[in-house]
Amino acid sequence: MLKPVRKQSLSDAVFDQLRAHIVTGQMKAGASLPAERALCEALGVNRGAVREALKRLAQARLVSVQHGGASRVLDYRASAGLELLSDLLVTDDGFDAKVVRSVVEMRSALAPDIARLAAQRGGERVADALAPIVERMRAASADARVLQSLAMEFWSALVDGTDNVAYRLVYNSLRRTYEKCMDLLTGVLEDELRDLRSYAAIADAVRRRDARRAERLARALTHRGEERLLAAAELLEAGRAPKGDLA
Amino acid sequence: MLKPVRKQSLSDAVFDQLRAHIVTGQMKAGASLPAERALCEALGVNRGAVREALKRLAQARLVSVQHGGASRVLDYRASAGLELLSDLLVTDDGFDAKVVRSVVEMRSALAPDIARLAAQRGGERVADALAPIVERMRAASADARVLQSLAMEFWSALVDGTDNVAYRLVYNSLRRTYEKCMDLLTGVLEDELRDLRSYAAIADAVRRRDARRAERLARALTHRGEERLLAAAELLEAGRAPKGDLA
DNA sequence: CGCCAAAAACTGGTCATACCAGTTGACCAC
DNA sequence: GTGGTCAACTGGTATGACCAGTTTTTGGCG
């Protein structure tokens, strides 16, 4: 299995480097950034590349730039958006257990409401999208990785059913974060993934517009995985198990 | 009351214009963008400005650029992150009711879990941060706008108490979205804002680490506001009440 | 000495123009 | 068909100049 080689433009590299310095605290909030021209020289790149990177940093609310004055580092915890989550996930030596825990917790908090709203607003329309996914899960129940991917599709369809754009956007951000450490978690979640009965039951509840039941089922389903994930995350936090399979 | 004039760099203007074209569907997903040099000429700006804007659009996952090939419009619903929410809020003639509804619903789904975790993990430390805020709310109970701002602080402190970075980042994004239409909603939420007893009770539950109670109180508090907000949003959707006070 | 305004020395913002580098598609030899 | 070349796109990088704000220095006046 070959992967496409990763190509990175200069401004991307500058962006990554500055972002890393900021989120790791090497550049403290409130501090002034070097002038653009100084950064050019220090990084050995053209000013345009630096400016593109700074514009992106400003959009991510990691820095604030001001015409005439020096650019300053912001407190990302106070200003950054959810997009930053996937960047916070990876540290020098593996993954940040607290970030993993955060993702898992938010998933558990949102999943029941997503199922509820999908049942309430989606009904048959959504159930018809869910059915073939469950069917494919049944067929692929051997491969945890495929199951994982199908479960993602399942939740995506459910989120679409909520007609809630905020949930949709959060799902996108969470998914990107999750995919970065998917290999690490597939084993831990295998129980949840193999619980086809629950997926089918949620789909059924959605079809019958039984919001209460869909909500309860989703809560139960994610709750089980959450406990194992939290345990695994604690293990990761304490015992240093970077890259190793947590299952 | 004069407001600071909006100063916008050229690349900001280009970004806004292209983003608007994309989210309104005037540029459909999958379509190719004009070449950078063509955009320069069409917009009457330098190529650097166009490039800065495109880099930001790429970061927001609204377009994908590829060295050598044409840049293409992405399906923002499938790829954009929560940061986009505040941009989706404003339409030609006011606010998008569905976006308002989405924000309110997510708030209701997260608030109980935030209170629960804050109680579980924060305890006195968080309660000590909450107390002065509640006190100030008591003092300022006359002005709904001040109450609004203090309530934000209250939730912010609670979110900090969860030790959950995902919640923190979602809070930041939601807050930005909310602040755009705050005037519209302050009146609707006045009931919730004046319910100082609930805020104090949550702070108390947090201090006693009573997670269950904190969760229940938060659910009740946001639920009440939600119903009024959803009713107001429907009204906004149906009857065209842009900018008008919904209270 | 202390204050304040002019000026110099920063800062980021915009511009024009080259040229490098990857992609695409047409075309042609094999 | 396969693979190669080439021309014409596309975006990526570089340079150097100048505009436009902000901050600091400076120097003169009270």
Could you report the per-residue pLDDT of B163-212, keeping only the tens digit for each?
A: 999 999 999 999 999 998 888 888 888 888 888 999 999 999 999 999 99
Predicted confidence (pLDDT) at residue B224 exceeds the cutoff of 60: yes
Set of chain B residues whose Cβ sits within 8 Å of the Cβ of A67: 7, 9
Which among B107, B80, B77 has a CA at the least distance from the CA of B178? B107
Whether any strand C atom is under 7 angstroms from the Cβ of A33: the reply reads: yes
Nearest nt (C1') from B68 Cα:
D10
CA distances for B1 relative to A13, A46, B182, angstroms: 44, 43, 17
Contact call for residues A192 and A144 (beta carbons, < 8 A): no
Set of chain A residues whose Cβ sits within 8 Å of the Cβ of B173: 81-82
Q: DSSP class of residue B72?
A: E
Chain B nearest C-alpha distance from A214 (Å) = 15
Q: Which of B7, B60, B85 sits opposite A166 (nearest CB)?
A: B85
Whether any strand D atom is under 7 angstroms from the Cβ of B41: the reply reads: no
Round to whole Å and give the CA distance between A31 and A24.
14
Nearest nt (C1') from A70 Cα:
C11
Q: What number of residues does chain B have?
A: 247
Round to whole Å and give the CA distance between B222 and B112.
9
Contacts 24+ apart (CB under 8 A), B139-146: B141/B194, B141/B196, B144/B186, B144/B187, B144/B190, B144/B193, B145/B186
Round to whole Å and give the CA distance between B242 and B247.
13
Whether any strand C atom is under 7 angstroms from the Cβ of A177: the reply reads: no
Residue A39 CA to D25 C1' — how many Å?
A: 25
Structure tokens at B53: 């804007």
Whether any strand D atom is under 7 angstroms from the Cβ of B109: the reply reads: no
Whether any strand C atom is under 7 angstroms from the Cβ of B66: the reply reads: yes
User: A73 forms bridges with which residues in the sheet?
Assistant: A63
For B162, the closest chain A residue by CA position comes to: A102
CA distances for A195 relative to A154, A169, B40, B245, angstroms: 13, 26, 54, 49
Round to whole Å and give the CA distance between B42 and B39.
5
User: What is the predicted pLDDT for the residue at A190?
Assistant: 83
Q: DSSP class of residue B120?
A: I
CB atoms within 10 A of CB B243: 10
Predicted confidence (pLDDT) at residue B243 exceeds the cutoff of 90: no
Nearest nt (C1') from B70 Cα:
D10
Q: Do A167 and B106 touch (CB under 8 A)?
A: yes
Q: Do B165 and A102 touch (CB under 8 A)?
A: yes
Which residues, 6 or more positions from A99, have their beta carbon under 8 angstroms from its beta carbon?
A85, A88, A89, A177, B165, B166
Residue A31 CA to D28 C1' — how many Å?
A: 36
Q: Compute the 3-state secondary structure of chain B and give helix, strand, coil in percent, each to the nearest 5.
A: 70, 5, 25
H helix or E strand, kind and range, residue A63: strand A63-64
Rg of chain A (C-alpha set): 21
Set of chain A residues whose Cβ sits within 8 Å of the Cβ of B24: none
Predicted confidence (pLDDT) at residue B246 exceeds the cutoff of 70: no
Average pLDDT, chain B: 91
User: What is the predicted pLDDT for the residue at A231?
Assistant: 82
- Considering only residues 138-157 of chain A, list those whose CB is below 7 Å from strand C: none
Set of chain B residues whose Cβ sits within 8 Å of the Cβ of A78: 172
Round to whole Å and give the CA distance between B117 and A232.
19
**Nearest 10 degrees: CA dihedral of A124, A125, A127, A128?**
110
Angle at B158 between CA B155 and CA B161, to 5 degrees: 155
User: What is the predicted pLDDT for the residue at A244?
Assistant: 44
Per-residue confidence in pLDDT tens, chain A, 247 aa:
777 788 899 999 999 999 999 999 999 999 999 999 999 999 999 999 999 999 999 999 999 999 999 999 999 999 999 999 999 999 888 888 899 899 999 999 999 999 999 999 988 999 999 999 999 999 988 888 888 999 999 999 999 999 999 999 999 999 999 998 888 888 888 888 888 999 999 999 999 999 999 999 999 999 988 888 888 777 766 555 444 444 4
Whether any strand C atom is under 7 angstroms from the Cβ of B7: the reply reads: no
Round to whole Å and give the CA distance between B245 and B247.
6
Q: DSSP class of residue A225?
A: H
Residue A46 CA to D14 C1' — how many Å?
A: 6
pLDDT tens string B155-169: 999 999 999 999 999
Which residues, 6 or more positions from A101, have their beta carbon under 8 angstroms from its beta carbon?
A229, A230, A233, B164
Chain B nearest C-alpha distance from A164 (Å) = 5
Contact call for residues A175 and A103 (beta carbons, < 8 A): no
B218 residue type, one letter = A
Q: What number of residues does chain A have?
A: 247
CB atoms within 10 A of CB A66: 10
Identify the weakest region by mean pLDDT among A21-35, A177-191, B55-69, B85-99: A177-191
User: Chain D: nucleotides under 7 Å from a protein CB?
Assistant: 9-17, 20-23
Residue B65 CA to C25 C1' — how many Å?
A: 20
Strands A72-73, A63-64: pairing kind = antiparallel
Contact call for residues B206 and B119 (beta carbons, < 8 A): yes
If 0-12 CB within 10 Å is exposed, 13-18 middle and 19+ buried, where does residue B216 land?
A: middle
Round to whole Å and give the CA distance between B87 and B16.
9
